[in-house]
Structure 1
């Protein structure tokens, strides 16, 4: 018997069976239990094509913004969000093939404690007893040197994925101040392959939250979530980064807080080092007390907003019609901090100076970029107290950065704005004559001499440092005339039996200043106990009154005359 393959218009009743509604099937239809038609055979080429289509669809889906955002959020939840190692975080880490690094997880707590004990054994008792800041860092050897996952081996890699669990013990004034689990990352730019600089992160996930800043930098406020431990790359004359940051700060640039220290990593003594704040968004948020700012890091990756803002500044400097004026530039850039970094690099012979960051605090009534200095490990390496002018780099390293934002603005102002040239040359002579005068240089060097003696190690050639810095006032004046075309210069010597003020600066009894021709030197004398001011003598010519302003046209000798009351 055969049946019709036409589908009935309604369902059969009374125990009848409804024939299949799929494709027409040839052959007899047998009543009774339902019998399925045989599945069609799929050609092998069609199956392969289908699998390939699925793979392509998966690859395309992987590249969509939705999936990328999901993976980013998952990674952020699993690693960056500073919370305890929850099951959800562990699940996300497992999905992404990342290890569970949270030291507070039960299986990791014992390991962190073992690393801390090893770190305590690493700390040199003599260094601890000296009172110096001492950091002993311990981590698994694989975290440093494993070919696949070690941060020293894979020194080009960056980010939270390349942070490894570690432990640090910190001593100051001979006492243990901190012992905790931390996150450890490699730090630096071109020196990353040397394995001499690290960052440590304080996170709840490792067992310690942000630390009070005064634990590391006595007398400072706020908290810190990360520190930089940076070995001094060059040793002559010693304390190079620290002296460089001292000078930059004195000249008017922003600098991170820092202290000299020694540290070890897995028992390896790194020697004389710098411990400093890490200049990053989180740091400035704590320092400013708000997050309404832009922080552009030179030579590093930046977010879209920072990049766009700096690009706008760069284009403004490049395309602004000439002549560019000093007031126009001041509305966009803090010229003092900009010139501090440029002039400071010249003063120290720094050949790798265009680093650091620019900060724009948008809460200010008239926001403008401020310059931040860091990484001065090449300072003093091209200076000699006795080198003749033709063998000194002078402004060369600054001119090499002529296309950088700061130097491009400086050069436009120098060429187009007479008021800037006048202001900057005054800035130079005030820096050399007063800010970095001999007494200030001695005061700056003295703590490092004391620290070296305290530690009992040869770390600082203070005679070399003093000779280099003592030679720089004359050398910089000569170099500025040669390289920038500044006017010729001459000396002004002042002597007095009682302190007198010069250029509205400090009180002097003996003073030798250097001035470009046409600049003025201002002097003010006040009566002293048992003494009455009489008059000034400038190259033998008498000047009455306690105030005198003299235009420098040649070498000048000035004497303040006081008489007994």
Structure 2
């Protein structure tokens, strides 16, 4: 009897060869493959082929391609030379893109530039124009606006971007566009993410142009809309305050946005927390990064390592400050807490958690994110006056490790309560000075006027908030951290002489507020003309030592007495 297995192997081999020949014949002659053959002979490719196929890879390596949205875009006669045959794609999954040589195209010729009249360019100090195929916006099946809940790379659409300052075109490129946000996806005005990839053109925004030159390389940014009555600058102001406190927060800047030549109003460009942000602010991108939530999977790094941290953080047992300091950056954690408490951010448990993988003893830390509800500008806040909002009790133990850590440390560690109180006093007295807060409030009032944005009500509300917030927080600190009452301390010194207060050089006339458990520390700063003699406390000569550490238990005036040096 002939063995069965060799026969089956032979039949399989013959069948396989026949199958390959059949596929080859089909690809060469069958009508269904005609579009594919044509696409390989033309300058028009499906997105998937350009992104992942061999031909697309070669073109990208040669840097000889640029992306053009589908031909519904071109209503301006100057753009019609780009109107080649539309790419052949599965309409249900991906829009097509077209390619053409970069050498023959100038930034002014890109659709996002040519669609902009001089009046549009002159309309605001900074203008951003996007040009995108109308089908990629509003098609029922593949449009971004009509499928605003859809996420991921499959819902990124090719577009063009042009950026103008003082009406001058400074940068233009092909880009990728996605819808951005959580609940904002359901708002009438959408927010967007803008991606820079070599498949579209530039791999980053032009250096030293955005975000006060603090954020290069810019590989991705968010275009944030004003989707509530909150005031478009609330997020930006909260980020400025957070960075002044010492927390990490993105940089922002306003633009007037146009899409296909239609004005969309004032939007805010925001750094996105991605590889570019990490390189710009930390010098490298080797971080474990995850959304700060107990259920999150890291965007980069070990999922097991993050879950081990979550298990430790969410344990219900008492936690000492020294134990916490072995795992988390306590200074960052406390300054994040103070930033969201001061800004009255009701939905504060947002943003990423990171771990530097290049450091063997690295500690977990956080970056502030999405603070648009700050300053009690929305109905998420319940206090009668915005500045009275109590955020200390908003850290619900649910999904974020920070909430667990906050309650475990506040309730279980007297050392942490003292440490938190000391940093709070430092921030309120030396970082969030009245001068700083007034300057930031004026800055955004002036920006609103320059962009033609009616922010009068918001500016008035914020001015009142910033005026009253510190006093309310000092009372709330006693409720949650048992600090006792706070008292003012005025420090005086002769003209030309300066005193270092709590490690900060200050002028005569400094006024700070202190709890009994957070004493003031003073040290005279020698000058060419003065030498220190002694301290007066409430008019009494009591201390001759140079460094004075004094508990403030009542309203106090401290005077640094100097003598002029003999000539």
TM (norm. structure 1) is 0.75
Rg comparison, structure with higher value: 1
Post-superposition offset of 1:287: 5.7
Q: Which residue of 2 aligns with 1:250?
A: 244
Contact 2:418 2:517 in 1 (8 A): no
Post-superposition offset of 1:320: 7.3
Post-superposition offset of 1:79: 6.6
Q: Which residue of 2 aligns with 1:428?
A: 424
Distance 1:136 1:509, change over 3 A: same
- Aligned partner of 2:441 among 442, 445, 449: 445
SS of the equivalent of 1:497 reads coil
Q: Which residue of 2 aligns with 1:273?
A: 267
Residue 550 (str. 1) matches residue 550 (str. 2)? yes
Q: Which residue of 1 aligns with 2:78?
A: none
Q: Which residue of 1 aligns with 2:80?
A: none
Residue 174 (str. 1) matches residue 167 (str. 2)? yes
- Aligned partner of 1:413 among 405, 409, 412: 409
Post-superposition offset of 1:157: 0.5
C-alpha distance in structure 1 between counterparts of 2:54 and 2:192, whole Å: 23
Distance 1:188 1:97, change over 3 A: closer
C-alpha distance in structure 2 between counterparts of 1:389 and 1:235, whole Å: 17
- Aligned partner of 1:476 among 473, 477, 492: 473
Contact 1:395 1:479 in 2 (8 A): no
Post-superposition offset of 1:173: 4.0
Distance 1:560 1:291, change over 3 A: closer
Residue 333 (str. 1) matches residue 328 (str. 2)? yes
Residue 205 (str. 1) matches residue 204 (str. 2)? no
Distance 1:149 1:258, change over 3 A: same
Q: Could you give the per-residue CA deviations for residues 474-499 of structure 1, whole angstroms, max 9, x where no partner exists?
A: 11111122244433322222233333
C-alpha distance in structure 1 between counterparts of 2:152 and 2:119, whole Å: 29
- Aligned partner of 1:355 among 337, 350, 354: 350
Distance 1:455 1:152, change over 3 A: closer
C-alpha distance in structure 2 between counterparts of 1:475 and 1:188, whole Å: 32
Q: Which residue of 1 aligns with 2:221?
A: 227
Contact 1:383 1:392 in 2 (8 A): no
SS of the equivalent of 1:104 reads strand
Post-superposition offset of 1:140: 2.0
TM (norm. structure 2) is 0.75
Q: How many residues align?
A: 484
Residue 188 (str. 1) matches residue 181 (str. 2)? yes
C-alpha distance in structure 2 between counterparts of 1:290 and 1:82, whole Å: 30
C-alpha distance in structure 2 between counterparts of 1:395 and 1:249, whole Å: 19
Q: Which residue of 1 aligns with 2:18?
A: none
SS of the equivalent of 2:333 reads helix
SS of the equivalent of 2:322 reads helix
Q: Which residue of 2 aligns with 1:136?
A: 129
Q: Which runs of 5+ in 2 are unaligned?
A: 3-45, 61-86
Contact 2:518 2:551 in 1 (8 A): yes
SS of the equivalent of 1:543 reads strand
Q: CA RMSD in A?
A: 3.7
C-alpha distance in structure 1 between counterparts of 2:453 and 2:59, whole Å: 51
Distance 1:388 1:189, change over 3 A: closer
Q: Which runs of 5+ in 1 are unaligned?
A: 1-6, 10-74
C-alpha distance in structure 2 between counterparts of 1:540 and 1:455, whole Å: 52
Contact 1:502 1:508 in 2 (8 A): no
Post-superposition offset of 1:429: 0.7
Residue 519 (str. 1) matches residue 518 (str. 2)? yes
